[in-house]
Amino acid sequence: MASNRIGRINEEIQKELADLLRQLKDPRVQATMISITRVETTPDLRWAKVYASFLDESKAKDALKGLKSASGFLRRELGRSLNLRYTPELQWALDDSITYGAKMLKLINSLEVSDHDDDQ
């Protein structure tokens, strides 16, 4: 039962952070498109690990530094919008699953398919 509550909280944090990223004025964050792919919160709601994916991989490290520097602002705004006893401390992590998936799709599409039938 508690894991269902944590799952709902994770989804709410993810949604709120996606909205709050538009308000950040840090040029490192505004330089690339950022997607919050998932959030993992500890059961005591003290820490939340936020996985972010970046469209431009060359600017990912700078954007991640910008997100880490804006963590205080983002945490305060999360506290205002969510009714929780504790607002979790945000830890940012790079999520390369979208890049990995695009690479795998490119490899699959590059394979040649043979046209001869095996039934004959």
Task: Assign residue 86 the CATH number of its domain.
Answer: 3.30.300.20
Host domain of residue 57:
2-110
51 contacts 36 by C-beta, under 8 angstroms: yes
Q: pTM for this structure?
A: 0.79
Residue 76 lies in a domain: yes
Task: State residue 88's pLDDT score.
Answer: 94
Residue 115 lies in a domain: no
pLDDT bin (cut points 50, 70, 90) of residue 116 is low
Residue 103 lies in a domain: yes
Q: Could you tell me what percent of the chain has a pLDDT over 90?
A: 52
Residue 116 lies in a domain: no
Residue 42 lies in a domain: yes
11 contacts 69 by C-beta, under 8 angstroms: no
Residue 119 lies in a domain: no
Give the Cβ contact number of residue 2 at 10 Å: 7
82 contacts 16 by C-beta, under 8 angstroms: yes
Name the domain count of the chain: 1
pLDDT bin (cut points 50, 70, 90) of residue 37 is very high
Q: What is the pLDDT of residues 16-27, one digit of tens each?
A: 999 999 989 989
Q: CA 114 to CA 98: how far, in whole Å?
A: 29
Residue 16 lies in a domain: yes
Cα maximum dimension of the chain: 69
CB within 8 A of 67, min separation 6: which ones? Answer: 29, 34, 52, 74, 92
Residue 120 lies in a domain: no
Mean pLDDT of the region 93-112: 85
pLDDT bin (cut points 50, 70, 90) of residue 115 is low
